């Protein structure tokens, strides 16, 4: 899978980011899963879009691994007709990464969702506010540390919204 002849394999970026790319794993049905250092996020996104031709960002997911927080991007290439996964591990205390909205505008809502559900902040996001949860919601409910509340404990001030 990795580095297929269609020209959309991520291998050619290894020379460009010898430090930043931590590894490329095969992943069924995609061009591979590229692990990268969050420090190079924005440059990597630009290269992936402009050099490899992944023009569409289909998904941004946040995953809570307790020790770390992972953020996973799925990007799609129309020419190569396949996905590429980009993944970065973030520290669990203050997980943050550069926003992908400058490269793929469709990252906007996905990042808002990841921000409110698993508490990953995206630097330089144009409009980082609640998407699915009400404004002012105090919890990040998809974190593993989140406990189910009795309804009475989950006080949300609806009228202030």
Partner 1 sequence: MGGVTTASSPAGVPAAAAATGPATEPAVPFLEIETLRAREFIPAAKEALASRISEEAQDRLLRPVFNWAGRNSLFPLHWGLACCAIEFAAAFGARWDAERFGVVPRSSPRQCDLLIVNGTVTWKVAHKLITLYEQMPEPKWVIAMGNCATGGGPFRTAYSVVPGVDKLVPVDVYIAGCPPRPEAMLDGILKLETLIKERGE
At its nearest, how many Å lie between partner 1 and the CB of residue 18?
43
Cα–Cα distance measured from residue 22 to residue 3, given in angstroms and rounded to the nearest whole number: 16
Q: Which is nearer to partner 1, 53 or 141 (CB)?
A: 141
At its nearest, how many Å lie between partner 1 and the CB of residue 85?
28
At its nearest, how many Å lie between partner 1 and the CB of residue 99?
23
At its nearest, how many Å lie between partner 1 and the CB of residue 136?
10
Near partner 1 by CB under 8 A: residue from 78, 91, 134, 145: 134
Cα–Cα distance measured from residue 41 to residue 25, given in angstroms and rounded to the nearest whole number: 18
Residues with Cβ < 8 Å from 148, sequence gap 6 or more? none
Applying CB under 8 A, the span of 33-41, 64-72, 99-107, 135-143 interacting with partner 1 comes to 135-143
Find the farthest-apart pair of alpha carbons in the chain and give their distance in angstroms, rounded.
Answer: 58
Residue 109 near residue 129 (C-beta atoms within 8 A): no
State which of positions 64-83 bind partner 1 (CB under 8 A). Answer: none
Indicate the SS3 state at residue 161.
coil
Cα–Cα distance measured from residue 59 to residue 107, given in angstroms and rounded to the nearest whole number: 8
Residue 45 near residue 105 (C-beta atoms within 8 A): no
If one asks whether residue 59 binds partner 1 (CB under 8 A), the answer comes out as no
If one asks whether residue 53 binds partner 1 (CB under 8 A), the answer comes out as no
The binding site for partner 1 (CB under 8 A) comprises 132-134, 137, 139, 141, 146, 148-152, 154, 156, 158-159, 161
């Amino acid at each position: 899978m990795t580095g297929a002849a269609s020209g959309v394999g991520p291998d050619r970026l290894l020379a460009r980011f010898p430090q930043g790319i931590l590894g490329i794993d095969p992943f069924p049905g995609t061009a591979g899963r590229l692990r990268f250092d969050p420090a190079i996020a924005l440059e990597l996104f630009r290269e992936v879009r402009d050099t490899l031709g992944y023009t569409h960002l289909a998904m941004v997911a946040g995953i809570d691994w307790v020790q770390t927080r992972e953020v996973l991007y799925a990007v799609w290439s129309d020419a190569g007709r396949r996905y590429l996964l980009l993944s970065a591990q973030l520290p669990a205390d203050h997980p943050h990464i550069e926003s992908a909205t400058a490269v793929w505008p469709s990252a906007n809502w996905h990042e808002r969702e990841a921000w409110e559900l698993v508490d990953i902040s995206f630097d330089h996001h144009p409009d980082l506010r609640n998407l699915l949860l009400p404004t002012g919601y105090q919890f990040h409910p998809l974190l593993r540390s989140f406990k189910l509340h009795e309804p009475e404990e989950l006080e949300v001030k609806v009228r202030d919204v």
